[in-house]
Structure 1
Amino acid sequence: MESIHDAAERLKLLGDKTRLTMLSLMKEREWCVCEFVDILEISQPGISQHLRKLKAQGIVKESKRGQWVYYSLNVEDKPYIQDVLKHMPDSKTILSDLNKEGVVSVCR
């Protein structure tokens, strides 16, 4: 069982719209930094900073393939985060809301 302090620190990260969007997208698959840059229209350093914070709290994990780094959820042991994400829109809805339905990444 983790402490209230640790849970609060992790949940604070979900209070940011960009990070919550990224995590919601990761419910269905892993994503590359370049895809988040295209979809969210935020600089690569900005996206990387958000991902660094999520990784530091153990909410996401990374996998390197060549020059690309892919991120996926790491919340199997964090049921309270799973519960929050269950109530978030799916990727199709998120991409539609952002007018990014046809985004095709260069890293795939």
Structure 2
Amino acid sequence: MLKTAIEMDKAAMIFKLLGDKTRLTMVKILDAHDCCVCEFVEIFKASQPSISQHLRKLRDVGLVKEERRGQWIFYSINKAHEYYPFVQQILEPLPDQDDKLEQLEESGGRITCC
């Protein structure tokens, strides 16, 4: 019975994290593309500290990982995470967010730091 309670706690934690529209959209984008903070700042029209806080929450539970490339840190979904299959089931029926990256690329936002 304890295992079920722990699993329910983890599921509730994932739902709480992804219950925020910004974080849910970030995870959907990161499921297909690596992005840096500056790209998310442009996509969401939010401050860098706000975007970093969202990414920190996702990184702290291991759903998102970061990789330094020169002076930039790129974020990606951690597909090796034990809860990724659960997250993938949540993301699968959602519309892709490629249009957000395409708009960013058209405005020159993707080449600023990449």
TM-score, normalised to structure 2, is 0.81
Query: In the aligned structure 2, how far is the partner of 1:4 from the partner of 1:75?
Result: 21
Query: More helix per residue: 1 or 2?
Result: 2
When residues 81 and 100 of structure 1 are mapped into structure 2, their CA distance, relative to the original with a 3 A threshold, is same
Kindly state the Cα deviation for residue 40 of structure 1 after the two structures are TM-superposed: 0.7
Query: In the aligned structure 2, how far is the partner of 1:64 from the partner of 1:58?
Result: 17
Counterpart residue identity of residue 98, structure 2: K
RMSD: 2.0
Higher relative contact order (CA 8 A, sep 6+): 1
Q: Which structure 2 residue ranges, 5 or more long, are not aligned?
A: none
Aligned residue in 2 for 1:90: 96
Which one has a bigger Cα radius of gyration?
2
Kindly state the Cα deviation for residue 92 of structure 1 after the two structures are TM-superposed: 2.4
Counterpart residue identity of residue 56, structure 2: R
Question: Would you identify which runs of 4 or more consecutive aligned residues in structure 1 move more than 4 Å?
Answer: none
Which range is displaced more, 83-92 or 10-19?
83-92
Counterpart of 1:18 (choices 5, 17, 22) is 22
Contact in 2 for aligned 1:33/1:70 (Cα 8 Å): yes
Counterpart of 2:66 (choices 59, 62, 67) is 62
How many residues align? The count is 105
The secondary structure found in structure 1 opposite 2:68 is strand
Structural mapping, 1:1-108, within 5 Å? 3-76=7-80, 77-78=82-83, 79-93=85-99, 95=100, 100=104, 102-103=106-107, 104-105=109-110, 106-108=112-114
Kindly state the Cα deviation for residue 10 of structure 1 after the two structures are TM-superposed: 1.8
Q: Which structure 1 residue ranges, 5 or more long, are not aligned?
A: none
Kindly state the Cα deviation for residue 38 of structure 1 after the two structures are TM-superposed: 0.8
The secondary structure found in structure 1 opposite 2:28 is helix
Kindly state the Cα deviation for residue 86 of structure 1 after the two structures are TM-superposed: 0.8
Query: In the aligned structure 2, how far is the partner of 1:3 from the partner of 1:84?
Result: 16
Kindly state the Cα deviation for residue 102 of structure 1 after the two structures are TM-superposed: 2.1
The secondary structure found in structure 2 opposite 1:3 is helix
